[in-house]
Amino acid sequence: MLEMDNQQAFTVNAILDRYERDCLDELAPRTRRDYIRHIPVLRKWYGERIAEELKPKDFGPFLDVKRGYEQRKKQLAILSSAFTNAVSTWYILDRNVLRDVKRKPGRPRDRLVMDEEFSSMHAMSPLPVQLAMDLALLSGQRQGDILAFRWPDIRNNALQVTQSKTGKRLAIELTHDFKKVLGKCLALGPPDREYVLVTRRGNRYTPDGFRAMWQRAMRKWMQKTGGKRFTFHDIRAMCATKCKAPQIAMHLLGHSNISMTLKVYRRGIERVQPLGLTRAPIDEPRA
């Protein structure tokens, strides 16, 4: 356990130990698993180093890779989060050195799932995957939140959702299409179960269990059709792109501002109208 002594020289391992103990439980389950997977890489590179002695140039070799650059950026983001806590919460570092390490901005994913791809993949998938795809396209929610849909949360003609990643609360109205899919979900298991998507025994799908089922269905579809792989999360972007307006997509996906919706999730070509011709003269440019 870290002693709160500013004179002590803390290693990166010591800071990561405390970060894992104090901070990881506050993260969404999927994010926590990703962090746990990445932290050993950070320990291998920097674990025995004294955190206060690290300089920006020490991270150059770590980022100097031809493949896996985005992964390395994510790993440094985790280390930066740990250092930020060490500076402003635990008061054991004077500064976060990673604030001075320049990283190339990433490009948002632009894979747009077309209707024919969705329909083809849907037709070849087992029923639980089909229904999860339908729920994702209709609601625009993340995989983890869809697996957490519960029958008791349906009230006042809406499905009440609290997004696990952001805590955003939504009431998704039960349209005709949404009710139709929910009706099909009833056939998956016993009628008295809690969750909407369940196994034949009525158990809730775990994220890893559903992910394995999705990957099997995706491999089968790719082998039979020659289609290009897409992720389950790409269906969220498909939903956002199909919305009539960015503002509708923003509210449905639970974004707090329109920039995230436009930058990451609206992946189609925006249809625009040209300016109409008028007889009004164009102002002369100023000298």
Per-residue pLDDT reduced to its tens digit, 92-106: 999 999 999 999 988
Per-residue model confidence (pLDDT) at position 216: 98
Segments forming the whole domain that contains residue 40: 12-100
Domain assignment present for residue 107? The answer is no
* Helix-strand-coil split of the chain, %, nearest 5: 55, 5, 40
Domain assignment present for residue 32? The answer is yes
Cβ neighbours of residue 233 closer than 8 Å, sequence gap 6 or more: 142, 143
Coil vs helix vs strand at 50? strand
Domain assignment present for residue 109? The answer is no
Domain assignment present for residue 281? The answer is no
Kindly state whether residues 170 and 49 are assigned to the same domain. no
CB atoms within 10 A of CB 163: 17
Q: Is 80 exceeded by the pLDDT of residue 37?
A: yes
Kindly state whether residues 90 and 130 are assigned to the same domain. no
What does the pLDDT look like over 239-269, one tens digit per residue?
999 999 999 999 999 999 999 999 999 998 8
pTM: 0.79
Domain closes at, from 71, 100, 129: 100
The Cα–Cα gap between 243 and 251 comes to 10
Q: Which residue from 212, 176, 182 is spatially nearest to 197, judged by alpha carbons?
A: 182
Kindly state whether residues 119 and 234 are assigned to the same domain. yes
CB atoms within 10 A of CB 197: 20
Domain assignment present for residue 277? The answer is no
Kindly state whether residues 251 and 131 are assigned to the same domain. yes
What does the pLDDT look like over 165-211, one tens digit per residue?
889 999 999 999 999 999 999 988 888 899 999 998 889 999 889 99
Kindly state whether residues 44 and 168 are assigned to the same domain. no
Domain assignment present for residue 275? The answer is no
Q: What is the mean pLDDT of residues 50-67?
A: 96
pLDDT-above-90 percentage for the chain = 79
Kindly state whether residues 52 and 95 are assigned to the same domain. yes
Kindly state whether residues 89 and 127 are assigned to the same domain. no
Kindly state whether residues 123 and 234 are assigned to the same domain. yes
CB atoms within 10 A of CB 9: 11
Number of domains in the chain: 2
Identify the band that residue 107 occupies on the pLDDT scale cut at 50, 70 and 90: confident
Dihedral of alpha carbons 10, 15, 16, 17, sign: positive
CA angle 109, 114, 119 (to 5 degrees): 130
Domain assignment present for residue 90? The answer is yes
Give the end-to-end CA distance of the chain in Å, rounded to a whole number. 72
CB neighbour class for 135 (10 Å; exposed up to 12, middle 13-18, buried from 19): buried
Helices and strands of the chain, counted as H and E runs: 12, 3
Domain assignment present for residue 7? The answer is no
CA-to-CA separations, 146 to 7, 64, 229, in angstroms, rounded: 49, 38, 21
Kindly state whether residues 95 and 120 are assigned to the same domain. no
pLDDT-above-70 percentage for the chain = 94
Q: Retrieve residue 163's tokens.
A: 């997004």
Kindly state whether residues 54 and 158 are assigned to the same domain. no
Kindly state whether residues 120 and 219 are assigned to the same domain. yes
Per-residue model confidence (pLDDT) at position 6: 47
| CATH number reported for the structural domain that contains residue 176 in this entry | 1.10.443.10
Kindly state whether residues 66 and 155 are assigned to the same domain. no
